[in-house]
Amino acid sequence: MDLTNATIRSTRPAFQSNAREINRSVILWAWIQRLGLAFFIVLLCRLLVVDTLIVQGNSMQPSLHPDETMLLFKAAYWFSEPQRGDVVICRYPDMPDNFVKRIIALPGERVSIKNHTLYINDVPVDEPYIKEEMATSMPEVIVPRDSYFVMGDNRNDSKDSRDHRVGPLPKKMLLAKVVAISWPLPEWRAVPRHAPKDIASH
């Protein structure tokens, strides 16, 4: 009897079993790494790129309603300029809260309100998206460089750039662009950018 061959044959099954165990461990570790990377990417996107926020108050009716969840694109203005009609999350001077408003006028433009109508650069602006006509007037304001004039769509129940304590907002105070309503599901919709096209630049 060849004892050497018998020893080799007897150890081969154990070797194959160990190899399978190592292979399973390698596959498991690869999956753990992939899941960890995916989680990191999602977390990074959540922190830097996208976010959600619940609408509070009535200042953006009828476009947005209380308790709806907004989907935000936080990187919208990293490499591009805000556009007229964008709905944005913004911060006001010396106030800790965030607000949701619509960009109405751009840097260098002249804004006024008379006879219940918005004027930009002396051009009357048709605004079918607002809740009702404005009850108050506003003398002409020139939007400073790198700043934006914002207002709520519910003009008679909105604290915005018309208030001297707020005024036009520097770009750095525009924190995110509202791109959609994500909750409740039956109300899911994109948030449109309403912007008249016949306003001449300053």
What is the residue extent of each domain of the chain? 1-48, 50-190
pLDDT of residue 25: 73
**Half-sphere exposure in the Cβ direction for 77 (13 Å, CA):** 22
Report the predicted TM-score, pTM, of the whole model to 2 decimal places: 0.77
Four-way CATH pick for 50-190: 3.30.43.10, 3.90.470.20, 1.10.3720.10, 2.10.109.10? 2.10.109.10
Tell me if residue 147 is catalytic: no
pLDDT of residue 202: 46
Q: Which residues pair with 47 in a beta bridge?
A: none
Of the listed 59, 63, 147, 161, which one is catalytic?
Answer: 59
How many angstroms separate the CA atoms of 178 and 161, rounded?
A: 18
pLDDT of residue 121: 96
pLDDT of residue 99: 97
pLDDT of residue 194: 84
- Beta-strand runs (E) in the chain: 50-54, 69-73, 87-91, 98-105, 110-114, 117-120, 123-125, 138-142, 147-151, 169-170, 174-183, 189-190
How many angstroms separate the CA atoms of 66 and 52, rounded?
A: 14
- Residue in 56, 53, 83 with CA at minimum distance from that of residue 69: 53
pLDDT of residue 197: 62
| Digit-coded pLDDT (tens) for 3-48 | 455 454 555 555 556 656 667 777 777 777 777 666 655 555 555 6
Retrieve residue 86's tokens. 């964008």
Tell me if residue 101 is catalytic: yes
Residues of the chain with confidence (pLDDT) below 70:
1-22, 36-49, 196-202
Of the listed 101, 158, 161, 177, which one is catalytic?
Answer: 101
3-state percent helix, strand, coil for the chain, nearest multiple of 5: 25, 30, 45
CB 175 within 8 A of CB 88: yes
pLDDT of residue 35: 72
Tell me the Cα Rg of the chain: 29
